[in-house]
Amino acid sequence: MRERIPVAVLGATGMVGQWFVRLLSRHPWFELVAVAASERSAGKPYGKAVRWIFPEEVPEGVRELPVVPPEPGIPGKIVFSALPAAVAGQVEEGFARAGYVVSSNARSHRYDPDVPLLVAEVNPDHLELIELQRRNRGWKGFIVTGGNCSTVQLVLALEPLRRRFGVEAVVVTTMQALSGAGFSGVPGNAILDNVLPHIPGEEEKMAREPKKMWGKLTPEGIEETGVRISAHCHRVATRDGHLEAVSVKLSRPAAREEIVEALENFRGLPQELGLPSAPKQPIVVRSEPDRPQPRLDREVGGGMSVVVGRIRPCPVLDWRMEVLGHNTVRGAAGGAILNAELVVAKGLV
Ligand SMILES: NC(=O)c1ccc[n+]([C@@H]2O[C@H](COP(=O)([O-])OP(=O)(O)OC[C@H]3O[C@@H](n4cnc5c(N)ncnc54)[C@H](OP(=O)(O)O)[C@@H]3O)[C@@H](O)[C@H]2O)c1
């Protein structure tokens, strides 16, 4: 690509927004030209408005960018949305109407029948919904959403098994990192020496989103799959990286070696196309009995791979395994950037 595409980040001062800024500051296709946040931050230079979470300095070139309100008219062809769901819905619609391509992390439009809920390796064909979306709404631009951080890694890890053996039912227990709760997150006094056995709305999202992601594309939208999912979600005191204990019921019998082989050799369209944020190996299998662990394994593939371990028979369903994914990279900013790369590669920008 000779000229980089100008892009903006909405919610740039938050937890996911800062990951967007970090990843985009060194992106070969995209140039970050605008940062937007709330009234609290608007008008200040980004470097002054943000409470920066990374050890390195705020990237040069972004530090002095003025924070603006998230309103159409700001520079950029693609906008990455890391806004809270309460505001994201209308704001994202405004941008799509005005002709921008919106790649969102918020849940506001995830279940709209004409909006792709995309994991780039899993359901790239769902990008065909964009045509329906534009027709339905009369927009020049469009919205593509990414899944909830705990759903994305689950669906990616199970995709090779779904394709080869079929997936009928899943029981998943999550241990979710603090960064998943946003910058203000969970009060220290609530989480230190503790595990919180409830994350509002999370179990419902985990049970619903895979049905759309694994759904069949039809002229009217997505026909959801009937897979049954039971999720138990917990907040734990890790910083980044959601660990999930997964039991899965397959449609056909599978041997352990076949499962390992299917996971390790899985490649999707982003790998075929060589997209800049696509990890070479989307799923990495560890054989040690005590892996994956959030602190040791979350950076694999630059945070874009999921790591699977402890693959063993399940006496209730068929197979058990541990799945780890970097929630703010693969499950949020990195995933949304990969989705946008796919949109560009498909000639939709
Ligand atoms: N954290 C994760 O792992 C994760 C994963 C997947 C999806 N998501 C989703 O991504 C979105 C962002 O999450 P987060 O964890 O980054 O949240 P966060 O840390 O609370 O950040 C929220 C951002 O939105 C801005 N904002 C808040 N209210 C606004 C308003 N009324 N108008 C304009 N901007 C406003 C904030 O700006 P100020 O700093 O100026 O207040 C901040 O930049 C949410 O929809 C979340 O559900 C998060």
Q: Is the CB of 88 under 6 A from ligand 1?
A: yes
- Helices 149-165 and 256-264 pack at an angle, to 10 degrees, of 120
Distance (Å) from CA 87 to ligand 1 centroid: 9
pLDDT of residue 220: 86
What percent of the chain has a predicted confidence (pLDDT) above 90? Answer: 99
Rounded CA separation 212/200 (Å): 21
The domain made up of 5-148+333-345 has a fold known as Rossmann fold (3.40.50)
Which protein residue's CA is at the shortest distance from atom 41 of ligand 1?
A: 38
Distance (Å) from CA 82 to ligand 1 centroid: 5
Could you give the C-alpha distances from 349 to 113, 128, 174, 197, in angstroms and in order?
Answer: 22, 14, 36, 42
| 80, β-bridge pairs | 9, 103
Which residue, 211, 79, 87, is CA-closest to 145? 79
Could you give the C-alpha distances from 4 to 25, 28, 32, 334, in angstroms and in order?
Answer: 12, 7, 9, 18
Task: Classify strands 228-235 and 306-313 as parallel, antiparallel or unpaired.
Answer: unpaired
The contacts of residue 195 (CB under 8 Å, 6+ apart) are: 175, 234, 235, 236, 237
- Residue 266 confidence (pLDDT) above 80: yes
- Residue 196 confidence (pLDDT) above 70: yes
- Helices 202-213 and 149-165 pack at an angle, to 10 degrees, of 40
Distance (Å) from CA 128 to ligand 1 centroid: 28
Burial class for 39, CB neighbours closer than 10 Å (0-12, 13-18, 19+): exposed
Which protein residue's CA is at the shortest distance from atom 33 of ligand 1?
A: 38
Is 337 in contact with 103 (CB distance < 8 Å)? Answer: yes
pLDDT of residue 318: 97
- Residue 1 confidence (pLDDT) above 70: no
What would the CATH number be for the domain defined by 155-326?
3.30.360.10
pLDDT of residue 10: 98
Name the pLDDT band for 219 (thresholds 50, 70, 90).
Answer: confident
Q: Give tens-digit pLDDT for 53-97.
A: 999 999 999 999 999 999 999 999 999 999 999 999 999 999 999
Active-site residue, 149 included: yes
Any idea what the Cα angle at residue 81 is, between residues 299 and 284, rounded to 5°?
A: 25
Is 100 in contact with 122 (CB distance < 8 Å)? Answer: no
Q: Is the CB of 52 under 6 A from ligand 1?
A: no
Distance (Å) from CA 40 to ligand 1 centroid: 13
Q: 């990616």: which residue's tokens?
A: 156
Question: What are the boundaries of each domain within the chain?
Answer: 5-148+333-345, 155-326
Backbone angles phi, psi at 342, to 5 degrees: -65, -40
Choice from 39, 46, 105 to test ligand 1 binding pocket (greatest atom count within 8 A of CB): 105
Active-site choice (27, 109, 126, 242): 242
Q: Is the CB of 260 under 6 A from ligand 1?
A: no
Q: Give tens-digit pLDDT for 119-158.
A: 999 999 999 999 999 999 999 999 999 999 999 999 999 9
For all residues of the chain together, what is the average pLDDT? 97
Enter the tokens of residue 82.
Answer: 């890391």
Active-site residue, 326 included: no
Enter the tokens of residue 253.
Answer: 């019998």
- Residue 238 confidence (pLDDT) above 80: yes
Q: Give tens-digit pLDDT for 163-192.
A: 999 999 999 999 999 999 999 999 999 999
